[in-house]
């Protein structure tokens, strides 16, 4: 399997499909690069080189004790780009991965990144504070950490329901998606998923968004129960210089079904402009 070595020696797994202009996908918590397989195939079929990595501590990457922070995630992505000598890159990030690609682009991607897509992404900041009174209370993230420590296997199964909107009345529940969410979550290391909660909830991406100089498509479902749209995409669009906000009515945080099909079409169109 292909790996790159991060600056601190950590082994970071990646996969690369197709050939052409590079598109790098960054996954959400607590998943892995496999969460992007449908979109990777779609982009490879459209003549792009689709690349996705497992964030450190997740999937097949090394389960490091240190470095489970947003700055290191962005630096790991920079190491991947450097190792593969990529230019004219498009970045696609979901949830925590949306924060990762925004930070990478703002701090490392000058001259390399041409476009960005975020999907259900955490920027600008999730946690409630005096500066962000509409945010999610810290107690919600404390509960996540407690559940991860207590019984993360059961927690991944429970979390999959609001993640994909399967707790909504009349939802067509897919046991396969629940099982896949559980499988990918169980591949991640305990310390990595625990540490990452603070990173996706408390990291402030305001300056990163303001510093972006390239076009960005901000995609978000308006029934996202994990990263509510009013405190993320609705604010992020006002902070970027060259942004397009695309709202998907009734869509959940997890990418599946009709939402996945529509998002795929919109990504292909945006990257081709």
pLDDT of residue 48: 98
CA 244 to chain centre: 18
Domain extent listing, the chain: 3-272
pLDDT of residue 224: 98
Location of structure tokens 């955490």: 122
Gap between the terminal Cα atoms of the chain: 34
CATH number of 3-272: 3.40.50.1820
Closest CA to 24 of 150, 142, 115: 115
pLDDT of residue 85: 97
Catalytic (active site) residue 53: no
Please state, in angstroms and as integers, the Cα–Cα distance from residue 41 to each residue in 16, 20, 72, 119, following that order: 10, 13, 28, 18
Rg over alpha carbons for the chain, rounded to the nearest Å, is 17
The stretches in the chain having pLDDT less than 70 are 1
Strand order of the β-sheet with 3-5 is 3-5, 11-17, 49-53, 22-26, 89-94, 113-119, 216-221, 243-248
Tokens of 208: 């990163």
Catalytic (active site) residue 224: yes
pLDDT of residue 136: 96
Q: Which of 54, 208, 224, 231 is catalytic?
A: 224
Using an 8 Å Cβ cutoff, are 115 and 88 in contact?
no
Tokens of 54: 């497992």
Pairing of strands 49-53, 113-119: unpaired
Sequence-distant (6+) residues with CB within 8 A of 167 are: 161, 225
Query: What is the rounded distance in angstroms from the CA atom of residue 217 to the CA atom of residue 20?
Result: 21
Catalytic (active site) residue 253: yes
Q: Which of 53, 94, 253, 256 is catalytic?
A: 253
Q: Which of 32, 95, 201, 252 is catalytic?
A: 95
Using an 8 Å Cβ cutoff, are 124 and 206 in contact?
yes
pLDDT of residue 78: 98
């Amino acid at each position: 399997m292909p790996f790159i070595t991060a600056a601190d020696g950590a082994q970071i797994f990646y996969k690369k499909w197709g050939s052409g202009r590079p598109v790098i996908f960054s996954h959400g918590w607590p998943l892995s690069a496999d969460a992007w397989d449908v979109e990777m195939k779609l982009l490879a079929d459209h003549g792009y080189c689709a690349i996705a990595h497992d964030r450190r501590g997740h999937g097949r990457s090394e389960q490091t004790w240190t470095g489970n922070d947003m700055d290191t995630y962005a630096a790991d992505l920079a190491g991947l780009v450097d190792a593969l000598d990529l230019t004219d890159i498009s970045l696609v990030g979901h949830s925590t991965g949306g924060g990762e690609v925004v930070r990478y682009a703002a701090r490392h991607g000058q001259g390399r990144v041409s476009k960005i897509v975020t999907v259900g992404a955490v920027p600008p900041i999730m946690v409630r504070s005096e500066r962000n009174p509409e945010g999610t209370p810290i107690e919600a993230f404390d509960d996540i950490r407690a559940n991860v420590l207590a019984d993360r296997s059961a927690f991944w199964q429970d979390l999959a329901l609001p993640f994909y909107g399967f707790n909504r009345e009349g939802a067509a529940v897919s046991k396969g998606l629940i099982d896949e969410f559980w499988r990918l979550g169980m591949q991640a290391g305990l310390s990595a998923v625990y540490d990452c909660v603070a990173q996706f909830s408390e990291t402030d991406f305001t300056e990163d968004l303001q510093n972006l100089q390239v076009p960005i498509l901000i995609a978000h479902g308006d029934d996202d129960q994990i990263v509510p749209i009013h405190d993320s995409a609705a604010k992020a669009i006002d902070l970027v210089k060259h942004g397009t906000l695309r709202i998907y009515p009734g869509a959940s945080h997890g990418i599946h079904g009709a939402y996945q099909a529509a998002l795929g079409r919109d990504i292909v169109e945006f990257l081709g402009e």
